[in-house]
Amino acid sequence: NELTGMGKPAKVQKLLHAPFTLHDRLMGFIDNEIAHAKAGKEAHIIIKVNAMTEKLLIDKLYEASQAGVKVNLIIRSMCCIRPQLPGVSDNITVRSIVGRFLEHTRVYYFANGHQNPNANGKRTHRLYCASADWMDRNLFRRIEACFPILDRKLRRRVIREGLKSYLVDNCQAW
């Protein structure tokens, strides 16, 4: 790719990778949650990253909030989104968990209307682990990887221990 100077993107099936597919797919996942909210289905996004500064994704999260999507952000350090602004980000909460150990996990959860199981009876939410924070440098100027968690037991564990436990923490959160 001449623009990034990083060559051609690899053709992979499930892996999302920056600077080629990750940003566009994240924007699409948020658009999908917006469509679910407008259709009256469950629409929920949980993002756990160290930093969130990328303007287009932030604007898309504001759009999602205005459409009725519940957005929970777990951000360790820099965060340029302003939660709980009337009419703009009413449905967005931001939590920061501080503690003794530096946290590096990045997890992206999209409900994908999962209250309605697919034809096989499986929940359809999307769950990804990634190396990328939601920053310009990570999404456009570095090689970063994002992969889906497909195993059911591991998905439950990542959601329960990697996301929900952070959302209920009342000791080291602000």
Q: What are the start-end ranges of the E strands in 21-162?
A: 44-49, 70-75, 92-95, 106-110, 126-130, 144-148
What tens digit of pLDDT does each residue of 54-88 get?
Answer: 999 999 999 999 999 999 999 988 999 999 999 99
Q: Give me the residue label for tokens 């407008």.
A: 38
What tens digit of pLDDT does each residue of 82-104 get?
Answer: 999 999 999 999 998 776 655 67
Confidence of residue 117 (pLDDT cuts 50, 70, 90): low
pTM of the predicted model over 0.75: yes
Looking at the chain, the whole-number percentage of residues with pLDDT higher than 70 is 82
Confidence of residue 140 (pLDDT cuts 50, 70, 90): very high
